[in-house]
Amino acid sequence: MSVAIVTERLSKQYRIGELQSTYGTLRDSLTAAARRLARRDHGVHYEEIWALRDVSFEVQEGEVLGVIGRNGAGKSTLLKILTRITTPTSGRAEIRGRVGSLLEVGTGFHPELTGRENVLLNGSVLGMKRREIQRKFAEIVEFSGVEQFIDTPVKRYSSGMSVRLAFAVAAHLEPEILLVDEVLAVGDAEFQRRCLGRMEDLSESGRTVVFVSHQMQAVAQLCDRVILLQKGSAVLDGPSSDVVAHYLQTVGGSSSVRAWADLETAPGDDLVRLRAARVVDENGDTVDAADVRYPVGIEIAFTVLRSGGASLFPKIKLYDMRRNVVFNAMDTSPRWRRPAAPGEYVSTAWIPGNLLNEGLMSVDVSVCSIGAPKLHPHAGSNDAVSFHVQDLGEGDSAKGSFTGQLQGVVRPLLEWTIEER
């Protein structure tokens, strides 16, 4: 068996500034430069983080490798390097074979162009030769099921149609190595299902697959081997069931409590530090699973270290299993309009009953201030806690007596009015 991918001490360093502000204006840079001059501070000081550090592995031809880890562990950075979208800071990798990635589905589609024109364009973008596209054209169109509209501009397509067409092109790329980032793959559940299906097909036909995912079930099912990334480093590499089990038991499992014992190392800056976060029910008890019908609280404990800082307030961000952001919420009460006095605070955000859909929710907690145009996080922990939302099926939730799954990010219980005419 031969090797499809080798990486040797692959590393990627980002400057924090680059990650936070996607682009600046010339004025910002000039004023920053002027400020540095005024302080006689000639060196450029950026806070630097290693998104990926010394990651080495080999993937055999035909192997299905899973990459798991918490948010920000470096999974997406790894894929971006392997697809050559970004370059590593150090280290090297070698890829043997044609690479395809489902990241690219629909990339370069232009709404003004017809379906036919977009197939040609998208094919080229994905690296197909003209002859190859021409040869596969009929097949692609048939696969997409939009034959009648192939000469209609894509802007008149429904979103489902354009996804089908885009997917048809990607599916005919016939890569020898497929890179899939489920986290980044946009699209609805149907689309993600197609992606997974395509991945299974390819791996069954002996192609090499690298699969980045948050869905442990899918990883355990599809992958032969899994690498666990933590803060940019590969901390575990082994058979998928072992690595997934380890991950669930430690860092990534459903944990409704999290505490930082040591104030020094707790997330935060010189103004505020996180102490703990937990998921509570109405009685204040820690819960792993919440009944969809009743409110559930996210409790954040933090310590304000000094007075006179920015006006702080606690904030939470909820993700569902598919990494959709369910919502962001912050405490807007007037008490946070002034800088808080030093001391310990415990703040609880109450999520009303009959709002969330069923499934595993993951929560980022942070203490922020307003730094226009964005929020400035002073202390934050991504995926700090998580909990399951359950429907016990007693008939008084938004599902009524239906027992299947309802699609959607939220699942509110609405008030319906009816008139008979």
Residues at the site binding other proteins, with contacts judged by CB under 8 A: 2-3, 10, 14, 18, 22-27, 29, 80-99, 103-104, 107-108, 110, 112-113, 117, 120-121, 124-127, 129-132, 153, 174
Cβ-based nearer residue to other proteins, 185 or 384: 185
324 in Cβ contact with 308 (< 8 Å): no
d(CA 198, CA 132): 20
3-state secondary structure of 192: helix
67 in Cβ contact with 182 (< 8 Å): no
CB of 382 to other proteins, least distance (A): 20
Residue 200, beta-bridge partner list: none
CB of 165 to other proteins, least distance (A): 16
CB of 84 to other proteins, least distance (A): 4
Among candidate residues 247, 244, 194, the one with its CA nearest the CA of residue 223: 244
Cβ contacts of 324 within 8 Å, gap of 6 or more = 409
Cβ-based nearer residue to other proteins, 135 or 306: 135
Angle between helix axes 130-144 and 159-171 (nearest 10 degrees) is: 130
Structure tokens at 305: 């270290």
Beta strand segments in 29-71, E = 48-60, 64-68
Cβ-based nearer residue to other proteins, 7 or 362: 7
Cβ-based nearer residue to other proteins, 104 or 383: 104
Cβ-based nearer residue to other proteins, 86 or 158: 86
d(CA 386, CA 316): 12
Cβ-based nearer residue to other proteins, 107 or 254: 107
Among candidate residues 279, 256, 213, the one with its CA nearest the CA of residue 65: 213
3-state secondary structure of 221: helix
Cβ-based nearer residue to other proteins, 81 or 298: 81
CB of 162 to other proteins, least distance (A): 14
Cβ-based nearer residue to other proteins, 234 or 356: 234
d(CA 80, CA 242): 26
3-state secondary structure of 51: strand
Q: What is the DSSP string of 343-397?
A: EEEEEEEEEPSS-BPSEEEEEEEEEEEEETTEEEEEEEEEEEEEEEEE----S-S
3-state secondary structure of 296: strand
Cβ-based nearer residue to other proteins, 172 or 378: 172
CB of 129 to other proteins, least distance (A): 6
CB of 70 to other proteins, least distance (A): 21
Alpha carbon 108 to chain centroid, angstroms: 22
CB of 227 to other proteins, least distance (A): 17
Cβ-based nearer residue to other proteins, 93 or 300: 93
Cβ-based nearer residue to other proteins, 47 or 94: 94
d(CA 62, CA 290): 42
161 in Cβ contact with 146 (< 8 Å): yes
CB of 127 to other proteins, least distance (A): 8
Sheet harboring 64-68: ordered strands across? 99-101, 177-181, 208-212, 64-68, 225-230, 233-239
CB of 148 to other proteins, least distance (A): 20
CB of 24 to other proteins, least distance (A): 6
CB of 19 to other proteins, least distance (A): 8
